[in-house]
Chains A and B, each alone.
Chain A
Amino acid sequence: MEAALVVLVVAVLFGGMVLMLAMGYQGSEAERSRQARAREADAAARAAAMVAVPGFFARSGRTITPSNRVFDEVMVNRLEHHVRLEQAVVAQFVHQPSVDNLYRRVGVPNHVH
């Protein structure tokens, strides 16, 4: 009878220990999984922030999609035309720096501002 009681107590203690170990493992796995999700979310947020930083020739809302974009002579001419117009505007700024001359619109005479 006493031997059976001892076996029962040992079994209960052993079972309790195994249960505690299993619960501890589950808890640490859940924590690891939560940290991994947090890291992924953080990386995605940082990537989005990097994309949001403007580039030199970034033109939000007016970007041509890669599927219909062909870098041909027509596009080269358009780019060079754009550069010429812009240079004509900033030439005034080079000789006479001012905010008005810097942000003057193409084709708008200086005296309008």
Chain B
Amino acid sequence: MQDRLQAAELFAGLDAVRLARLNAIARGLTLRNGDYLFLLGDTAQYISVVVSGLVDLCLPISIDDVVKDITVEAVGPGKMIGWSALVKPFRFTLSARAAAPTEILAFERLALEQVFSTDPTIERVIRNGISELMASRLTMFQALWARELQRTLSPGGQDTQA
């Protein structure tokens, strides 16, 4: 299982001893195609790393009282999901659904915080990784919003797209 941790972007730079500490608190989960790992609004208790398969991050869209999940990002092996577990208010802001048979490793917040309290390097690496992910996600949604706004404000609702 430790090899799987080594492949995770979130743990890049951590040595074998530190990966072993994380390995000790990791919990393996298998999802079938279509299974939900978590739903938007759920209490976030775990961050997860995708080992194999594919997880869709979805945003519920409601039209005429019909709500459907729209995939806004697909997360593959080595990537992390569920940063909300380490950031207040500890609630998921998207839903996560397996888009194929998927294996993940989950790390409970309380167990991680215990590791953090004894090893600040692990905490720094993981929180840096989360910061980078959040910054990337924020920039992406900022850009998507700006493009939609630009289209809305263009004369005659002109599309930015070709």
Contact = CB atoms under 8 A, between A and B. Distances in A.
Interface stretch (B47-55, B108-116, B119-127, B149-157): B149-157
B61 interface: yes
A108 B139 contact: no
B64 to A, nearest CB: 6
B9 interface: no
Interface in B60-92: 61, 63-64, 66, 68, 70-73
A103 B63 contact: no
B162 interface: yes
B152 A106 contact: no
Interface residues of B, number: 28
B148 interface: yes
B16 interface: no
Contacts of A87: 72-73, 140, 144
A76 B68 contact: yes
Contacts of B156: 60-61
Nearest to A107: B162
B66 A83 contact: no
Contacts of A107: 161-162
B64 A79 contact: no
Interface residues of A, number: 32
A99 to B, nearest CB: 10
Given A66-B64, A93-B139, A105 B157 contact: no
Given A54-B153, A103-B150, A105-B160, A71 B68 contact: yes
B145 A97 contact: no
Given A61-B156, A87-B73, A56 B148 contact: yes
B143 interface: yes
13 contacts: A56-B148, A57-B148, A71-B68, A75-B63, A79-B70, A86-B144, A87-B140, A90-B144, A93-B143, A94-B139, A94-B143, A102-B143, A106-B162
Given A90-B144, A102-B147, 9 more contacts: A58-B148, A61-B156, A71-B68, A80-B71, A87-B144, A90-B140, A94-B136, A94-B143, A103-B147
Interface of A: 54-62, 66, 69, 71, 75-76, 79-80, 83, 85-87, 89-91, 93-94, 97, 102-103, 105-108
